[in-house]
A and B are shown apart, each in its own frame.
Chain A
Amino acid sequence: MTAEHENNGRPLIELTEIEKIYRVGTELVHALRGVSLSIGENEYLAIMGPSGSGKSTLMNILGCLDVPTSGKYELRGQDVSKLSQSKLARIRGRQIGFVFQTFELLPRTTALKNVQLPLMYAQVPNKRQLAVSALQRVGLLDRAAHRPNQLSGGQKQRVAIARALAQQPDIILADEPTGNLDSRTGDEIMAVFDSLHAEGQTIIVVTHEEDIAARCRRIIRLRDGLIASDERRHPVSSVLSPRHAPARDLVNAT
């Protein structure tokens, strides 16, 4: 399926002149001022930018949590910029997997049940089987019966990734996935993303940490609601761990 789409030459995501204007009190805030962007299959993309740059807004729009004020968003050829709430919910359920900074697992609910949750809304058969294989992919099958309060932070985030993977989404959207984790655990999580990417998964990470972004193949920097830079890069060799980030940045900059 992935290959087929790539052969068609159509990108997975195509944003054209996306604008988003919020009304805060009587003031209008231009969060996005015309962002055009295309993202292909199996990309591993980081979205960066200082606060107020519009990166959260862009992520919300990419994740179909919000619709743009103007512009066009095509997801796998479907225009999703004008869909109703209920259709958007359906797309979120089937095509997008979210990973949040604060995990957002349901307490008092086992890891397996947490992973099954999106499958329940998507009404797919073999929920259990899909959830089990998602847990397997993040290496947490042995914790399936554990509740979130019995898991470490990194394990929680891995359950959250399994949940995002469960319905085999087109994209995984991770919003500061390592923000609540120490650097070593964050590294582990990024390793999970790396391997998912290697398996063909499209991943978008929103982050303000250079180390994290450095593991991605493409970095988009936003400033004042516009794309400031869009750089593609070669895979960072595994020798360069985050600890060497400053050096690596130096290398990249030259």
Chain B
Amino acid sequence: MIRPAANSLLRRLARRAGGFVSRHAQNVGTALVQVWANKGRSILTTLGIIIAVTSTITVVALVQGFGNHMTKMVRGYGTQFMVVHPWDPSVRDRHGIGRVSMTIDDIEAVRTECQHVRRITPFVFTENAEIAYGPEKAKDIPCRGVTEEYQIIRNFPVDTGRFFGPIDVENAAPVIVLGRSLLKHLQCDESIVGRYVFLDGERFLVVGLLQPKGSMFGEDQDETVMIPYSVAVKLYPNLRRSIPFLVEASSEQDLEQAQGEIARVLRRRHALKAGQPDDFRIDRQDQAVREFENIRNIASGVLAGIVSISLLVGGIGIMNIMLVSVTERTREIGLRKSIGGRRRDIMMQFLTEAVVLCTLGGAVGVVLGYALCYLAALHPQMVEISVPAWAVALALVSSAGAGVVFGIIPAFKAAILHPIEALRHE
């Protein structure tokens, strides 16, 4: 009993939907014919929209490109680790002087007591070590005294030989791992592995070469050497009482907790009273990433503002030309009404036309944006830029939206025309 009724209802709905679709397809067709018939005018009219979309696409792609580049650089450092320095809160830039101290015992305490710390390494760092290999000398080489865990925390793979191991660290073995740039400085090749070099006068066995990393922030990452920290503190005894360390949290989510644990352990060990400031500083890399992300968001916000203004300007142009079009085609409107077009049909027709015009403008803008990005990418020092899909979608949707908003008034004007007056219009 109910089935046939439901069936016929469905059929009617389907027919309605079909009619809806076909009428809209027809509207789009009519709109395209109109746009094509007035090519020059259409281009001039949509210029505002074209420019708005072109600039959005280009700037979004550039901001994204630079943002990605930055993020990648920071991520290259690793985001799961923190650097803990001794830090005198009252005086800037006075590391390891006076009571501010950080010792191997502090580091051991952090290692054993903090649950969310997975890896930890002291970081005995000197910026101007001198390395000699036969007659060749390399000066002002950064030297890092670390444990084998440093290799994992900071991701320094070795491609020739090996990194030093826990036994080397424990025994304070005089072994050294060289960065690639050292080969150039020392005028030698990979055969240096297994031979001896002199680091600030002490003899070290070269056990491995680091894989090249390139430069980051203008700093050659391959110009470095690494030795066990236990050797470093012997070689540079003045650094012994103020040793920064690197910590890797058990996961990126645990960074916060790990930071809290470390702070608690160090405050207790340094006998800081409540209310006293920390005598150390914990730097997290993920904060830097977040800051970049912030900058990117701000840039996007500013961009959105600019784009909405230019869309507004472009939209007013669209409204103007649509009003002209309605006036020009008054007789056509009258005819359409006389052969059965209802107000809403006329309204939809002109609204569709405005939307089609704007969307075409948006599409042209997208193409131009791509072209500009392509041109920009030709610059040799350009970062990798790609137009994000969401920017394209946003550009098209917002230009279509501008069509709706600014097409409403002309479409309404067309819809409410009286058929007789419209037909009589000269």
Binding site for B on A (CB under 8 A): 60, 63, 65-66, 85-86, 89-90, 92-94, 97-98, 100, 102, 104, 106, 108-109, 117-118, 120-123, 125, 163, 167
Docked Cα-Cα span, A19 to B23, in Å, equals 37
Q: Which of B162-170, B339-347, B385-393 contacts A (4 or more CB under 8 A)?
A: B339-347
Contact A92 B345 (CB under 8 A): no
The interface residues of chain B lying within 8 Å CB-to-CB of A92 are 337-340
Asked whether any CB of chain A lies closer than 8 Å to the CB of B119, the reply is no
Contact B420 A108 (CB under 8 A): no
Asked whether any CB of chain A lies closer than 8 Å to the CB of B26, the reply is yes
Contact B343 A117 (CB under 8 A): no
- Give, as a whole number of angstroms, the nearest-CB distance from A86 to chain B: 5
Nearest 10 interchain pairs by C-beta: A93-B340, A121-B340, A118-B339, A123-B19, A89-B342, A104-B335, A86-B342, A65-B419, A98-B338, A121-B341
Docked Cα-Cα span, A75 to B37, in Å, equals 40
Known: A85-B343, A104-B331, A109-B33. A117 touches B419 (CB 8 A): no
For residues 254 through 283 of chain B, which have their beta carbon under 8 Å from a beta carbon of chain A? Answer: none
Contact A90 B423 (CB under 8 A): no
The interface residues of chain B lying within 8 Å CB-to-CB of A118 are 339-340
Contact B331 A121 (CB under 8 A): no
Asked whether any CB of chain A lies closer than 8 Å to the CB of B22, the reply is yes
15 contacts between A and B (CB under 8 A): A89-B341, A89-B345, A92-B340, A93-B339, A98-B338, A100-B423, A104-B335, A118-B340, A120-B22, A121-B23, A121-B341, A121-B345, A122-B340, A125-B15, A163-B339
Q: Which A residue sits closest to B20, measured CB to CB?
A: A123
Contact B341 A66 (CB under 8 A): no
The interface residues of chain A lying within 8 Å CB-to-CB of B16 are 123
Contact among B33, B342, B419 with A90 in the assembled complex (CB-CB below 8 Å): B342
Contact B342 A117 (CB under 8 A): no
The interface residues of chain B lying within 8 Å CB-to-CB of A60 are 420
Docked Cα-Cα span, A167 to B338, in Å, equals 13
Contact B33 A108 (CB under 8 A): yes
Q: How many A-B residue pairs have CB under 8 A?
A: 67
Q: Which A residue sits closest to B335, measured CB to CB?
A: A104
Contact B342 A106 (CB under 8 A): no
Asked whether any CB of chain A lies closer than 8 Å to the CB of B332, the reply is yes
Docked Cα-Cα span, A120 to B335, in Å, equals 14
The interface residues of chain B lying within 8 Å CB-to-CB of A98 are 338-339
**Besides A85-B343, A123-B16, 11 other CB < 8 A contacts?**
A65-B420, A89-B337, A89-B343, A104-B331, A117-B336, A117-B339, A120-B22, A121-B341, A121-B342, A122-B340, A123-B23
Docked Cα-Cα span, A165 to B22, in Å, equals 21
- Give, as a whole number of angstroms, the nearest-CB distance from A105 to chain B: 8
The interface residues of chain A lying within 8 Å CB-to-CB of B332 are 104, 106
Contact B37 A89 (CB under 8 A): no
Contact B343 A121 (CB under 8 A): no
Docked Cα-Cα span, A163 to B338, in Å, equals 12
Docked Cα-Cα span, A224 to B37, in Å, equals 45
Known: A104-B335, A108-B37, A121-B345. A89 touches B340 (CB 8 A): yes
- Give, as a whole number of angstroms, the nearest-CB distance from A18 to chain B: 16
Contact B338 A120 (CB under 8 A): no
The interface residues of chain B lying within 8 Å CB-to-CB of A109 are 33
For residues 317 through 336 of chain B, which have their beta carbon under 8 Å from a beta carbon of chain A? Answer: 331-332, 334-336
- Give, as a whole number of angstroms, the nearest-CB distance from B411 to chain A: 16
The interface residues of chain B lying within 8 Å CB-to-CB of A94 are 340
Docked Cα-Cα span, A102 to B338, in Å, equals 14
Docked Cα-Cα span, A66 to B19, in Å, equals 27
Docked Cα-Cα span, A104 to B423, in Å, equals 9
Contact B340 A86 (CB under 8 A): no
Q: Which B residue sits closest to A60, measured CB to CB?
A: B420
The interface residues of chain A lying within 8 Å CB-to-CB of B338 are 63, 65, 92, 98
Docked Cα-Cα span, A60 to B340, in Å, equals 14
Q: Which B residue sits closest to A123, measured CB to CB?
A: B19
Known: A120-B22, A120-B23. A90 touches B340 (CB 8 A): yes
Docked Cα-Cα span, A79 to B26, in Å, equals 33
- Give, as a whole number of angstroms, the nearest-CB distance from B197 to chain A: 84
The interface residues of chain B lying within 8 Å CB-to-CB of A66 are 420
Docked Cα-Cα span, A26 to B44, in Å, equals 44
- Give, as a whole number of angstroms, the nearest-CB distance from A146 to chain B: 16
Q: Which A residue sits closest to B33, measured CB to CB?
A: A108
The interface residues of chain B lying within 8 Å CB-to-CB of A125 are 15
Contact among A86, A97, A102 with B343 in the assembled complex (CB-CB below 8 Å): A86
The interface residues of chain A lying within 8 Å CB-to-CB of B336 are 117, 121
For residues 15 through 54 of chain B, which have their beta carbon under 8 Å from a beta carbon of chain A? Answer: 15-16, 19, 22-23, 26, 33, 37
